[in-house]
Chain A
């Protein structure tokens, strides 16, 4: 499914912070996790993840350190910080409000997909 790029951009920060809240990770693994979580329906441009991670680091939400992978490659790991957790909690509340409102809109105003099927 193609998801609008503004929506991807808006959800990227809480997604990445949420994944890192589960434990330290690195770029490719974060991306794979996003794929898993969305059942492969959320497609990110891989390269865009890195400027995002760097921004989160500059804001103090994550900390990075260089390590090595199992095959000995240089790998940059990211871990969430206390500030990052606070930011995540805040985002989470914001998203809860948004999704609650959307849920009601879907229920009240629009015929859902099931109803549409009935018409067909």
Chain B
């Protein structure tokens, strides 16, 4: 064998090795380049030491280590590359595994639907009762899916169930006063709007397989939430279209399916959409992967324009003496929007990429949001000082302050990163560290605001 042929054989072996390594989703093409350089360096040294190409290649590959272990290690470090799986290097699920999982999801969806039906029947036509309890009827089944999938320990599951049951008791047994026109009163309304937040963050514990302290797992849950929201919107659009067509066609032949729609399709369709959506995010992540970050890219510049317009309008039309709590609630909504834009671009960002124009754009976004909020807050504080606190104002103000702290510190860390003073990881860690604060605040609003404000 001539010298050149021998090297050709080596090249072929290295090509094969590359292709084999590249199939691991946790290892990117650049990582393979880096490892190939290593492999070649090793081979060169070994051949210089007297081994022939074949032997050198084998030794070098052997020293590289078990590829499963290495790829698991890569996955641990770059969980964003396969955020969907908690089992980091999963066995490729066979067809049966996938069908079994879908079976579990559908069974849970039907169970949730039956539960919602029972709730609707038991409520005796009281919509407030249905709305108040719907989240308790549906989310535990979604949690059940993840508990099954992640094999969450009994202790964690039991604790979460107990907390959920306690919340359900609080929301249902507190003597909330009725508001005007038969709706819920102020504290009752706050409890209804804040329980889903608490339960959703508790779901995060199950989603993380109990490892809720891990920042990476929390970020996975954030990604999951974003992708699920997008799937839900798509499913709702499709479902709405389908129902509209059916109703339209059947009304032509004088069949009114509205009662059937209200009694069966809605109670089964909504939890069904949620569970199937969750399953889709888990199973089909490659199809609509990372839509949320794409949307954030589109909407970040637009939101900046909006915020600047608002800021100018607020400053030009001031003094803001005629504003009421609606302004505060709007401000909360704007800050939440900005927070989501920030969170989803962070969740999708390659932590190793150098700071770029988009990072500065985000800083402008957060800065503009904080400026708008500052103007609105000063106006609100004078108003509140004048007219006193109500449950609504305190809830809105509290959320505003939490968001303010979250965004202000995120901006500070982001500035440090954009100027090359801090690693991106710090900005990322702050986001995940802060998440439980919202769970605590929402719990306080649900549990303590009733007694504090005399259930008004």
**A residues whose Cβ falls under 8 Å from a Cβ of B:** 26-29, 31-32, 45-52, 54-55, 57-60, 64, 69, 73-76, 83
Contacts and interface: CB of A to CB of B under 8 A. Distances in A.
B424 A50 contact: no
B40 A73 contact: yes
Contacts of B426: 60
Main DSSP-derived SS at the A contact region: helix
A64 B31 CA distance: 12
Nearest to A57: B352
B350 to A, nearest CB: 10
Given A54-B77, A64-B352, A47 B34 contact: no
Interface string B66-85: 11011001101110000000
Contact of A47 (B41, B70, B422): B70
A28 B45 CA distance: 11
Given A46-B42, A60-B422, A64-B352, 9 more contacts: A28-B38, A46-B38, A47-B65, A48-B73, A50-B34, A50-B35, A52-B73, A75-B37, A76-B34
B37 A74 contact: yes
B338 to A, nearest CB: 25
Interface of B: 30-31, 33-38, 40-42, 45, 63-67, 69-70, 73-74, 76-78, 351-352, 422-426
Contacts of A51: 70, 73-74, 76-77
B286 to A, nearest CB: 23
A83 B230 CA distance: 39
A97 B401 CA distance: 44
A30 to B, nearest CB: 10
Contacts of B73: 47-48, 51-52
Contact of A45 (B34, B69, B352, B425): B69
Contacts of B31: 50, 54
A27 B34 contact: yes
A119 B165 CA distance: 69
Given A58-B352, A58-B425, A59-B423, A47 B35 contact: yes
A73 B45 CA distance: 16
Contacts of B425: 58-60
Nearest to A28: B41
Contact of B65 (A28, A48, A74): A48
B352 to A, nearest CB: 6
Contacts of B69: 45, 47-48
Contacts of A48: 65, 69-70, 73
Contacts of A31: 38
A69 B76 CA distance: 29
A9 to B, nearest CB: 10
A64 B38 CA distance: 16
